[in-house]
Amino acid sequence: MKRFFAGAAAALLAAALFLPLKARAVSAQKAILVDAVSGRVIYEKDADSRSLIASTTKIMTALIVCEQCNVLDRMRIPKEAVGIEGSSMYLQEGEILTLQELLYGLMLSSGNDAAVALAIYCGGTVEGFAELMNDKARILGMTGSHFENPNGLDSPGHYSTARDLAILAAYAMENPIFYKTVSAKNVTVGQRYLHNHNKLLWQVEGADGVKTGYTKAAGRILVSSATRNGRRLICVTLNDPNDWQDHAALLEKGFSCFEMRQVVKKDDVIATLDVAGSDSQQVQILAAEDFSYALSADEHPQLMLSGPGFVYAPVIEGTDAGFAYVLIEGNAVAKIPVIYGQTVEQKKEEKKNLWQILFGGEKHERTASENTVRPGDRLPTES
């Protein structure tokens, strides 16, 4: 999964295959459903249009804190983090909390004050933390996103897309501290009892995250995650008045209509290629690793090797031979690395001696030898 998200944006764009579900069946203005393990986009609707994202911004805030800070650290709440507009965990100036407690306030209660406190602790200032957010977005390939604050308060320069939020959420759910935080239903922080706003944790089998969001301008925003039998789906809806129902339906459809199937095993023979310039005529091309993909019952993937259909000698067993495309209904949805199955030496050309080079071959060499005068030979009589 981590290998996949190194190239997440390209893979998600390439894998745009759809559920047999009409776009109008989803109330969201923009939406996407992604298989986080394989990277397959199962459903999408206007997934690349930029939008306000409200408190789903806090997914990025929490991720950066989880990656760059020790969540057992304690901080004294500064006055700059008190009385922030919008949803709050009601921080008091001077009180001391651990970063983990603030993360719970951030992700369960959607505390805008917790977001500012964490941003100041981790980035020095809110503006400095926003730079960290944008740096991380670039690393993850979130090309349609820009962050200006840690809490998601409306701003013209603060936006993302459904696809980018899916990339972010799938990556973040791999972090154990982030996962522990967003999957918690209820926690107690001092005298505060925090209840997770994500209703799907109680309503959908395997639901384990991620974040709700709402402003009047943005509408209802929801990023969800559910895991069954080791397979995780990420769903994102933007400006969706029926987000709970849409997420439940999309997640159920994704799990019931698609399942992970092994397409190829490591060392399976992908193809046999002709080898130019060798006594051996062919070389086997092998899969360099196992590959599985989310498939429906009636889908039968095919493999197509990249390149011209032959190779030049020499080739070395186990070395890189390029990659093979995985095709579904003629569409390339992924590619897997391949290697050479055996070593094939270059054909050895017979070396010519000086006589062969000068006189053009063995025939001339024998003729020259026959015309050589040796001691005792009888010389021809002159006429």
Residues counted in the chain: 383
Helices 162-172 and 58-68: angle between axes, nearest 10 degrees: 30
Is 110 considered catalytic here? yes
| Among 87, 109, 110, 160, the one annotated catalytic | 110
Decide: helix, strand or coil at residue 252: helix
Rounded distance between C-alpha atoms, residue 209 and residue 179, angstroms = 8
Q: In 3D, which of 156, 146, 168, 155 has the Cα closest to residue 62?
A: 168
User: For residue 209, which of 222, 221, 219, 190 has the smallest C-alpha distance?
Assistant: 222
Would you call the peptide bond into 337 cis, given omega within 30 degrees of 0 as the criterion?
A: no
Residues 14, 4: Cα–Cα separation, whole Å? 12
Q: Residue 156: CB partners within 8 Å, gap ≥ 6?
A: none
Q: Which of 55, 87, 183, 278 is catalytic?
A: 55
Annotated catalytic residue 58 = yes
Residue 55: active-site member: yes
Which of 30, 45, 51, 58 is catalytic? The answer is 58
* β-bridge pairing 41-45 and 74-76: unpaired
DSSP H or E segment with residue 180: helix 176-183
Task: Please list the active-site residues.
Answer: 55, 58, 110
